[in-house]
Amino acid sequence: MASLRGGFRALSWANQLLSHQRPSWKCASCKIAPPATARSLRRFATTSEDASKPYYVTTPIFYVNAAPHVGHLYTMVLADVLKRWRTLIGDRDAQLLTGTDEHGMKIQQAANAAGIDTQAFCDRNCQTFKDLAEAAEVDYNYFIRTTEPAHKEAVQYFWEMLQHRGYIYTSKHEGWYSVSDETFYPQSQVHLSLDPATGRKRMVSIETGKEVEWSSETNYHFRLSAFTDRLLKLYQTTDFIQPTQYNELVVKSVSSGLSDLSISRPVERLTWGIPVPNDNSQTIYVWLDALVNYLTKAGYPFPPGEGSRLGWPADVHVVGKDIVRFHCVYWPAFLMALDLPLPRNVLVHGHWTMNKEKMSKSTGNVVNPFFAIDRFGVDIMRFFLTHRGGLESDSDYDNSYIIRDYKKHLQTGIGNVVHRTIGCAKGKLREYIVNATSGNSSASARDQADQARDQAYEDTLKNLARNVTSKMVRLDPRAAISELVRVIAETNKYFHHSAPWENPEEKQRVLFNVAESMRITGILLQPFMPNKAKELLDMLQVDLSKRGISSAIYAGDPDYGEDVKAKILFPPLIVEE
Rounded Cα gap, residues 506 and 508, in angstroms:
6
Work out the end-to-end distance of the chain between its first and last CA atoms, rounded to an integer number of angstroms.
Answer: 43
Q: Are 136 and 378 in contact (CB under 8 A)?
A: yes
Q: What is the DSSP letter of 396?
A: E
Rounded Cα gap, residues 308 and 558, in angstroms:
40
Q: Are 354 and 365 in contact (CB under 8 A)?
A: yes
Question: What percent helix, strand, coil does the chain show, rounded to 5?
Answer: 45, 15, 40
pTM value is 0.85
Type of residue numbered 468: V
Q: What is the pLDDT tens value at each position of the chain, 577 positions in all?
A: 333 223 323 333 323 322 332 222 233 333 323 333 222 322 333 343 466 799 999 999 999 998 999 999 999 999 999 999 999 999 989 999 999 999 998 898 899 999 999 999 999 999 999 999 999 999 999 999 999 999 999 999 999 999 999 999 998 766 677 766 667 666 667 677 777 666 677 777 766 677 777 776 889 999 999 999 999 999 999 999 999 999 999 999 999 999 999 999 999 988 999 999 999 999 999 999 999 999 999 999 988 777 788 899 999 999 999 999 999 999 999 999 999 999 999 999 999 999 888 776 656 678 999 999 999 999 999 999 999 999 999 999 999 999 999 999 999 999 999 999 999 999 999 999 999 888 765 544 567 888 899 999 999 999 999 999 999 999 999 999 999 999 999 999 999 999 999 999 999 999 999 999 999 999 999 999 999 999 999 999 999 999 999 999 999 999 999 999 989 999 998 764 4
Rounded Cα gap, residues 506 and 445, in angstroms:
6
Rounded Cα gap, residues 76 and 348, in angstroms:
13
Angle at which helices 477-498 and 378-388 pack, to 10 degrees?
A: 100
CATH of domain 399-551: 1.10.730.10
- 10 Å CB burial of residue 148 (0-12, 13-18, 19+) is middle
Residues 6+ away with beta carbon under 8 Å from 20: 52, 54, 92, 93, 309
Phi/psi at 156 (5° precision): -65, -35
Rounded Cα gap, residues 473 and 466, in angstroms:
10
Phi/psi at 201 (5° precision): -80, 140
Looking at CATH, the fold of the domain delimited by 45-396 is given as Rossmann fold (3.40.50)
The DSSP secondary structure of 172-240, one letter per residue, reads: EEEEEEETTTTEEE-GGGEEEEE-TTT--EEEEETTT--B-EEEEEEEEEE-GGGGHHHHHHHHHHS--
3-state secondary structure 255-274: HCCCCCEECEEECCCCCCCC
The 3-state DSSP class for residue 470 equals helix
The ranges assigned to domains in the chain are: 45-396, 399-551
Q: Whose CA is closest to 313, among 26, 48, 521, 78?
A: 48
Q: Are 338 and 162 in contact (CB under 8 A)?
A: yes
Q: Whose CA is closest to 118, among 78, 64, 160, 168?
A: 64
Say whether 399-551 and 45-396 share the same fold.
no
Half-sphere exposure of residue 433: CA atoms within 13 angstroms, side-chain side: 25
Buried b (16+ CB within 10 A) or exposed e, 250-274: bbeebeeebebbbbbbebeebebbb
Q: Are 43 and 276 in contact (CB under 8 A)?
A: no
